[in-house]
């Protein structure tokens, strides 16, 4: 990995991606922070995501996630836990490394940029490579009635989530929109993306595990995902052939948390609807 500095900040780049960034003049903190000519995917005020296509015989698609500032509360929590405060970009950079170390596939980390001083409060960004494949949120609707495909995907997904949790990691946004089926290879593979909020060895990890599993359950639409599919997933996740007392207890906790997520989602949708009506009034 190479570290490049300019007056505004430092840029850490994985060696294999450095020539690619150099070819577009994007090999500095300033160039990537002020990147132009990219497609705006999402803008949430303090954070925006850009899609960059690097032309060539095999075009490379990169995603640039820019954070306009860090979180003081996140920095304070790190300090109280005896950890070094990290910028949002560095936090996701570390999460990618941790998730890969757990044996779970994710997007490739390309570059990470931070300000020189108090980087955890100032602008930062991370560049990742696109995961070429199907987003499970979109693909799941084509699986209704396709038992053979489901019986390949469900164990693969359950195994990936299980490995992540056994490594002491929890995702915090584990919805089907953040699960990919990458192209290539004979076996079904699972990749997890959007690791910005991943926690490592969080307090009360079991509670966060239930939240991850409930988020998956909530985002899995019926009837494409049947009750039998959900039970099969839980059995594969726990490594059991049938639901025992422990598994039934976990299933009840997941069901309760799923309903709380559903109620929260409904409140958010209603609030957004009211705000949209005010804007158009």
Neighbours of 50 (CB within 10 A): 21
Active-site residue, from 15, 78, 173, 244: 173
Alpha-carbon distance 279 to 127, whole Å? 34
Is residue 112 within 8 A of residue 12, CB to CB? The reply is yes
What pLDDT sits at residue 281?
63
Every domain of the chain and the residues it spans: 2-129, 133-272
Local mean pLDDT, 10-residue blocks, the chain (281 residues): 90 94 92 90 91 88 92 76 85 96 96 90 94 93 90 96 97 96 84 94 91 97 94 95 89 97 92 74 63
Nearest to 174 by CA among 139, 199, 142: 199
Nearest alpha carbon to residue 234 among 211, 220, 250, 218: 250
3-state secondary structure of 132: coil
User: Is 173 assigned a catalytic role?
Assistant: yes
* Confidence (pLDDT) at 227: 94
pLDDT of residue 185: 66
Tell me, which fold does domain 133-272 have in CATH?
A: Transferase(Phosphotransferase); domain 1 (1.10.510)
Q: Is the peptide bond before 223 cis (omega within 30 degrees of 0)?
A: yes
* Residue 171 Cα to chain centre, angstroms: 7
What integer pLDDT is reported at residue 119 of this predicted model? 86
- For the beta carbon of residue 279, count every other beta carbon within 10 angstroms: 7
What is the token pair recorded at 37? 């000519």
Contact 65, 54 (CB under 8 A): no
At residue 37, the pLDDT reads 82
> Which among 123, 154, 142 is positioned nearest to 216, based on CA atoms?
154
Using the Cα atoms of residue 26, residue 31, residue 36 and residue 39 in order, give the sign of their dihedral: positive
């Amino acid at each position: 990995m190479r570290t490049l500095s300019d007056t505004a900040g430092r840029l850490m780049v994985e060696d294999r991606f450095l020539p690619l960034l150099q070819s577009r003049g994007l090999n500095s903190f300033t160039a990537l922070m002020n990147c132009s000519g990219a497609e705006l995917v999402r803008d949430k005020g303090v954070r925006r995501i850009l899609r960059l296509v690097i032309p060539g015989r095999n075009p490379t698609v990169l995603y640039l996630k820019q954070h306009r500032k860090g979180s003081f509360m996140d920095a304070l929590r790190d300090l109280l836990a005896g950890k070094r405060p990290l910028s949002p970009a560095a936090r996701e950079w570390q999460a990618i490394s941790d998730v890969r170390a757990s044996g779970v596939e994710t997007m490739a980390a390309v570059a990470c940029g931070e300000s020189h001083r108090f980087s955890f409060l100032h602008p930062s960004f991370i560049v990742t490579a696109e995961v070429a494949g199907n987003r499970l949120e979109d693909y799941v609707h084509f699986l209704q009635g396709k038992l053979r495909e489901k019986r390949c995907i469900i164990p693969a997904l359950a195994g990936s989530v299980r490995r992540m949790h056994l490594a002491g990691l929890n995702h915090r946004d584990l919805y089907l929109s953040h699960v990919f089926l990458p192209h290539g290879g004979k076996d079904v593979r699972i990749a997890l993306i959007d690791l910005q909020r991943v926690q490592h060895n969080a307090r009360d990890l079991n509670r966060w595990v239930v939240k991850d599993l409930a988020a998956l359950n909530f985002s899995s639409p019926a009837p494409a995902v049947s009750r039998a599919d959900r039970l099969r997933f839980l059995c594969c996740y726990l490594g059991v052939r049938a639901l025992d007392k422990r598994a039934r207890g976990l299933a009840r906790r997941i069901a309760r948390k799923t309903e709380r997520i559903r109620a929260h989602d409904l409140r958010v949708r209603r609030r957004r609807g009211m705000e949209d009506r005010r804007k158009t009034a």
